[in-house]
């Protein structure tokens, strides 16, 4: 800057400006041309934590890894928006852990050793995430199976890309970080201590009861004309109370929707289709096969008892013969035909033991079958099932003699369930399933009763492509005709539309009532200008057109935005001053609530069993100033006017009930300790995050 000043003095303003512009162009050129330049980096920066930049690509790579881990552990392939959001939050937490919390952990020596990690994954203290992962759940027992963990870990070496192993290593890292976090939270919470004095105060405040008589003088029933609110009053209140008007960034939307609903033609078409299917559905021999090619739902092999059969067809199904068809009938928006495919006398539940033989590499089922047949032969020749289960079993039941316990048809995989329910008590059989070959012994069965297997041919009424296009055309015409902010309200009135409102939307919000996954609309609201109109978009089963009606930026609300609120507050302040002066004047001549109440067109009201810690007082509502005043007011003495939230009050304590000598101190101690523990879980981290200078831009990308 000194060089520029010298040039300015010697060569004049023009030369200084030229050199200044050249210098600026050089700096900007460096930023713009560099692949890692400032502007480019900022445009793709998801966050900045403690001065460390987190780029979108790095963040998204971790998200995708988290998605793959989630799919593997849960056994699902399609995730909903809530699951994606949860994974993104977990990735964010890992960054916060790395850049904010880790320094604190290191100072305190809090860590998770490799031995501890092994114990969490495969040892005696399995981490809850591992225990609950679907991939490690035994389908027969429904519980965690340690053998499945070992099988999974061995399979990592068979992935030639190495991606699975990398993902698992990252996952183990998250487990270690979670354990360190838990230790840190425990360390903080255990440092909290509830003293005897604190317990004494808690017992007194929670158990000391007061009966009151009071005169409420409400601001709302006091005429506004008795006080005057000036612009100067409003400005003064605003200047003195700016902390009250701190706000987060938010937006308001007004929007209209066009529901994508089936037309009468669509309804008639489905009704016609289901009627046309009836003759063929009655004629064909293989109903499940026909359903696979025609129906929306899959064939359910389970045999249903009286209570399990849907009520609408229960009476028919219990007396129908095999092959008979019922319908068409409608349930909600779905047309259905029901056909009895089989009738059997079956138990409601079965108790069984099994020995699971897993095929090598999940492919050699023939070898597994031979092993299972050999084991079955040994059992038939008198060898102990329990001993053989412990020796040859490959799932979590092997240490329990292969005991699967009691189960109903739907609790097990179809192949296993079907074999067990058709068999008889005492039968020994082998069953092939997707998990391998089972040697099964039927230990016990409940009483048999009539069960019906039913095939349901169905089709749901939905909007056809033609209907969809018609609704889109109507919505598009509205958007084109009233396609700017100034005409939007006019269009709503002329077209008799229902205007909907979404107010105080925060940048991180992901929901708007009545709209499916409206995240894109919310992001738009934080990028658009006030009065702008969105593009016509589809959110779930409706088209949406929205107008941005209000913008509130983070910081202090502009006075014009909160003027009405301030005027009400100032008006109530002035009413309080006026009413307190009038009440004090009345108290000079009378100390009776019954005498004073009529002066203010009020009544004497009673409230029983009020506590200092009560959320509200009967007949008064939430008035913390009164709750505090009653604890120090002498018995039967009329108080001075108490300025409250909704009015002023004159109170008189008529009874005080002290806590019993044997008051429950233990409950009070536990409540205080629980409060401290809860606070430790978020206040300490909130303090660390506040000092970390976190700039979070995730909402720009997700």
Q: Is 340 exposed, middle or buried (0-12, 13-18, 19+ CB in 10 A)?
A: buried
For residue 428, which phi and psi values (nearest 5 degrees)? -120, 125
Task: Look at the pTM and tell me if it is higher than 0.85.
Answer: no
Q: What pLDDT shows up at residue 42?
A: 61
Q: What is the rounded CA–CA span in Å between residue 603 and residue 585?
A: 18
Q: Is 642 exposed, middle or buried (0-12, 13-18, 19+ CB in 10 A)?
A: buried
Specify the higher pLDDT residue, 16 or 119.
Answer: 119
- The neighbouring-strand residues paired with 568 are none
Residue 13 has pLDDT above 60, yes or no: no
**Do 253-261+464-553 and 349-446 have matching folds?**
yes
Task: Using alpha carbons only, give the angle 124, 127, 130 rounded to the nearest 5 degrees.
Answer: 105
**In the chain, where are the structural domains located?**
2-42, 44-207+659-702, 209-247+560-657, 253-261+464-553, 264-346, 349-446
Cis ω for the linkage preceding 143 (within 30 of 0)? no
Q: How many CB atoms lie within 10 A of CB 325?
A: 20
Helix axes 81-96, 163-190, angle to 10 degrees: 70
Residue 232 has pLDDT above 90, yes or no: yes
Q: What is the rounded CA–CA span in Å between residue 86 and residue 702?
A: 12
Task: Please give the average per-residue pLDDT across 366-391, as a whole number.
Answer: 92
Residue 651 has pLDDT above 80, yes or no: yes
State pLDDT tens for residues 524-534: 999 999 999 99
DSSP class per residue in 155-187: HGGG-TT-HHHHHHHHHHHHHHHHHHHHHHHHH
Q: What is the rounded CA–CA span in Å between residue 144 and residue 127?
A: 11
CA distances to 85, 416, 593 from 66, in Å: 11, 33, 67
**CATH numeric code, 349-446:** 3.10.50.40
| pLDDT bracket for residue 394 (50, 70, 90) | confident
Residue 20 has pLDDT above 70, yes or no: no
The SS3 call for residue 453 is: strand
Q: What pLDDT shows up at residue 362?
A: 65
Task: Please give the average per-residue pLDDT across 603-632, as a whole number.
Answer: 92
Proportion of the chain above pLDDT 70, given as a percent: 93
Q: What is the rounded CA–CA span in Å between residue 142 and residue 132?
A: 10
CATH class of 44-207+659-702: mainly alpha
The SS3 call for residue 12 is: coil
Specify the higher pLDDT residue, 122 or 526.
Answer: 526
Which residues neighbour 556 within 8 Å (Cβ) at sequence distance 6 or greater?
A: 242, 245, 246, 247
Q: For residue 602, which of 99, 219, 210 has the smallest C-alpha distance? A: 219
State pLDDT tens for residues 40-85: 556 789 898 888 899 999 999 889 888 887 887 676 778 887 888 8
CATH class of 209-247+560-657: alpha beta
| pLDDT bracket for residue 667 (50, 70, 90) | confident
> How confident is the prediction for the chain on average, in pLDDT?
87
Q: What pLDDT shows up at residue 137?
A: 82
Residue 340 has pLDDT above 70, yes or no: yes
Q: What pLDDT shows up at residue 216?
A: 96
Residue 462 has pLDDT above 80, yes or no: yes
For residue 568, which phi and psi values (nearest 5 degrees)? -65, -40
Q: For residue 601, which of 554, 659, 647, 532 has the smallest C-alpha distance? A: 647
Which CATH fold would you assign to the domain 253-261+464-553?
A: Chitinase A; domain 3 (3.10.50)
Contact 504, 247 (CB under 8 A): no
State pLDDT tens for residues 76-98: 778 887 888 889 988 988 888 78
Q: What pLDDT shows up at residue 51?
A: 85
Q: What pLDDT shows up at residue 19?
A: 28
Task: Please give the average per-residue pLDDT across 671-700, as a whole number.
Answer: 82
């Amino acid at each position: 800057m000194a060089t520029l000043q010298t040039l300015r003095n010697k060569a004049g303003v023009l030369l200084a400006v030229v050199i200044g512009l050249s210098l600026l162009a050089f700096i900007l050129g460096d930023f713009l041309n560099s692949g890692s330049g400032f502007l480019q980096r900022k445009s793709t920066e998801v966050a900045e934590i403690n001065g460390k930049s987190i780029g979108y690509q790095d963040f998204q790579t971790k998200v995708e890894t988290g998605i793959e881990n989630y799919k593997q552990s849960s056994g699902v392939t399609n995730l909903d928006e809530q699951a994606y959001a949860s994974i993104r939050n977990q990735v964010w937490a890992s960054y916060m852990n790395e850049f904010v919390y880790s320094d604190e952990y290191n100072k305190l020596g809090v860590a998770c050793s490799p031995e501890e990690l092994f114990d969490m994954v495969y040892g005696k203290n399995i981490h809850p995430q591992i225990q609950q992962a679907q991939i490690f759940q035994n389908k027969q027992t429904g519980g965690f199976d340690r053998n499945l963990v070992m099988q999974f870990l061995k399979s990592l070496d068979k992935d030639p890309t190495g991606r699975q192993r990398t993902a698992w290593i990252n996952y183990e890292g998250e487990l270690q970080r979670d354990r360190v976090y838990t230790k840190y939270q425990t360390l903080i919470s255990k440092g909290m201590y509830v003293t005897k004095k604190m317990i004494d105060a808690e017992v007194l405040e929670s158990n000391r009861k007061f009966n009151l008589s009071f005169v409420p003088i409400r601001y709302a029933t006091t005429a506004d004309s008795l006080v005057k609110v000036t612009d100067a009053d409003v400005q003064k209140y605003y200047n003195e109370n700016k902390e009250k008007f701190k706000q987060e960034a938010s937006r308001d939307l007004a929007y209209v929707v066009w529901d994508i609903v089936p037309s009468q033609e669509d309804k008639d078409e489905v009704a016609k289709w289901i009627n046309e299917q009836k003759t063929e559905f009655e004629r064909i021999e293989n109903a499940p096969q026909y359903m696979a090619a025609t129906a929306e739902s899959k064939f359910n092999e389970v045999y249903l008892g009286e209570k399990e059969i849907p009520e609408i067809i229960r009476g028919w199904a219990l007396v129908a013969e095999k092959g008979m068809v019922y319908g068409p009938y409608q349930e909600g928006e779905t047309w259905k035909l029901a056909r009895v495919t089989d009738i059997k006398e079956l138990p409601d539940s079965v108790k069984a033991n099994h020995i699971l033989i897993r095929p090598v590499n999940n492919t050699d089922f023939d070898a597994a079958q031979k092993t299972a047949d050999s084991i079955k032969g040994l059992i038939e020749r008198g060898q102990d099932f329990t001993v053989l289960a412990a020796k040859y079993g490959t799932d979590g039941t092997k240490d329990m003699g292969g005991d699967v316990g009691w189960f109903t048809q739907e609790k097990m995989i179809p192949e296993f369930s079907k074999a067990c329910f058709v068999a008889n008590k005492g039968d020994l059989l082998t069953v092939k399933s997707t998990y391998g070959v089972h040697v099964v012994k039927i230990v016990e069965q409940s009483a048999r009763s009539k069960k019906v297997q039913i095939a349901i041919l169905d089709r749901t009424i939905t909007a056809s492509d033609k209907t969809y296009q018609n609704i889109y055309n109507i919505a598009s015409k509205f958007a084109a005709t009233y396609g700017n902010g100034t005409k939007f309200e006019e269009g709503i009135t002329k077209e008799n539309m229902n205007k909907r409102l979404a107010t105080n939307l925060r940048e991180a919000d992901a929901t708007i009532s009545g709209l499916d996954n409206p995240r894109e609309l919310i992001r738009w609201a934080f990028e658009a200008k006030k009065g702008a109109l969105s593009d016509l978009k589809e959110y779930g089963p409706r088209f949406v057109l929205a107008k941005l009606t209000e913008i509130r930026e983070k910081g202090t609300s502009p006075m014009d935005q909160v003027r009405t609120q301030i005027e009400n507050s100032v008006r109530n302040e002035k009413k309080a001053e006026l009413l307190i002066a009038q009440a004090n004047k009345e108290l000079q001549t009378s100390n009776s609530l019954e005498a004073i109440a009529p002066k203010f067109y009020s009544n004497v009201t009673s409230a029983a069993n009020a506590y200092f810690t009560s959320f509200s007082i009967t007949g008064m509502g939430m008035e913390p100033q009164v709750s505090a005043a009653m604890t120090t007011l002498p018995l039967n003495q009329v108080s001075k006017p108490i300025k409250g939230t909704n009015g002023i009050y004159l109170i008189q304590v008529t009874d005080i009930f002290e806590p019993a000598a044997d008051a429950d101190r233990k409950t009070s101690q536990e409540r205080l300790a629980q409060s401290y523990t809860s606070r430790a879980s978020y206040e300490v981290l909130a303090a660390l995050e506040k000092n970390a200078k976190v700039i979070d831009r995730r909402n720009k990308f997700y």
